[in-house]
């Protein structure tokens, strides 16, 4: 990420917004597209809903996905650590002659 702030104009919920960010313009557009799509989904499901309420619901929905992804990442990391420790123990056992693999 560069130190220079880039300006990019995006359309969210039918309104244009100029965003200044350290991120690449393509990344900022990608983020804005996600927010816009989520607002459109909420409006389609809810019918007529005020813009700010749709934006709040979209933010809550995106935050929920974010926290679920963090939880899944933590579970995956824990699983990888447990598996690597088990594999290390098995390798240590084989290398020190404590295992029976390869013996016929």
Tens digit of each residue's pLDDT (9 = 90 or more) over 12-36? 999 999 999 999 999 999 999 999 9
Burial category of 50 from C-beta neighbours within 10 Å (exposed 0-12, middle 13-18, buried 19 and up): exposed
Residue 104: what pLDDT? Answer: 43
* pLDDT, tens digit (0-9, with 9 covering 90-100), for 80-103: 999 999 999 999 999 998 665 545
* pLDDT, tens digit (0-9, with 9 covering 90-100), for 57-68: 999 999 999 999
């Amino acid at each position: 990420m560069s130190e220079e702030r880039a300006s990019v104009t995006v359309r969210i919920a039918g309104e244009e917004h100029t965003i200044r960010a350290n991120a690449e313009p393509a990344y900022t557009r990608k983020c804005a597209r996600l927010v816009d799509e989520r607002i459109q989904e909420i409006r389609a499901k809810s019918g007529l809903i005020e813009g700010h309420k749709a934006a709040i619901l979209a933010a809550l929905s995106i935050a929920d996905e974010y926290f679920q992804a963090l939880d899944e990442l933590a579970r995956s990391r824990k699983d990888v650590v447990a598996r690597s420790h088990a594999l290390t123990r098995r390798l240590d056992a084989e290398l020190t002659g404590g295992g029976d693999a390869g013996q016929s």
